[in-house]
């Protein structure tokens, strides 16, 4: 996948803001984005937020956000993404380390549950969203 300038800026700002000091570099993150399709991920952009996603199970989509904006940008993007996924999935799920994300995602339009799962780097917490009635 060829990254356009705007997407590269989102990735760069998110890395500088949220991933400094991690065991991977910005170059590694860019390479991952360039090769998303080889690992069955897809991407969508919502303003200053890019979301990568792939099927997690038959009825659940897994997603991850890259945010160069503010908290409100993240909430808006997650809401838009979840709305778009209702046609294909009954749930969405994301994993992260920052506990402040729990507070932000509580503003989702979808019913949600937040769980501390402690499954390693980038998987301390899980947020699961119900996208439609089952």
pLDDT tens-digit map of 52-82: 999 999 999 999 999 999 999 999 999 999 9
For the chain, list the domains and their CATH numbers. Answer: 5-130 (3.40.630.30)
Determine the pLDDT at residue 25.
83
Helix residue ranges per DSSP H, the chain: 5-18, 26-34, 71-85, 100-105
pLDDT tens-digit map of 79-123: 999 999 999 999 999 999 989 999 989 889 999 999 999 998 889
Cβ distance 32 to 26 under 8 Å?
no
Determine the pLDDT at residue 134.
47
Least confident of 19-23, 32-36, 45-49: 19-23
Mean pLDDT along residues 16-45: 86
In the chain the first and final C-alpha atoms are separated, in Å, by: 35
The secondary structure of residue 103, as a DSSP letter, is H
- Give the CA count within 13 Å in the CB-facing half-sphere of 19: 21
Percent of the chain scoring above 70 in pLDDT: 97
pLDDT interval class at 45 (50, 70, 90): very high
| CA atoms of 45 and 115, how far apart (whole Å) | 26
């Amino acid at each position: 996948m060829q990254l356009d300038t705007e997407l590269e800026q989102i990735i760069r700002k998110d890395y500088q803001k949220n991933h400094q000091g991690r065991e991977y570099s910005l170059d590694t993150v860019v390479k991952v984005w360039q090769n998303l399709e080889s690992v069955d991920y897809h991407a969508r952009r919502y303003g200053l937020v890019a979301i990568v996603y792939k099927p997690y199970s038959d009825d659940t989509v897994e997603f991850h956000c890259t945010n160069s904006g503010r908290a409100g940008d993240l909430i808006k993007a997650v809401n838009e993404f979840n709305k778009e996924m209702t046609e294909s999935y009954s749930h969405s799920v994301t994993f992260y380390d920052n506990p402040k994300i729990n507070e932000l995602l509580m503003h989702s339009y979808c019913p949600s549950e937040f769980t501390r799962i402690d499954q390693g780097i980038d998987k301390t917490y899980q947020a699961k969203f119900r996208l439609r009635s089952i």
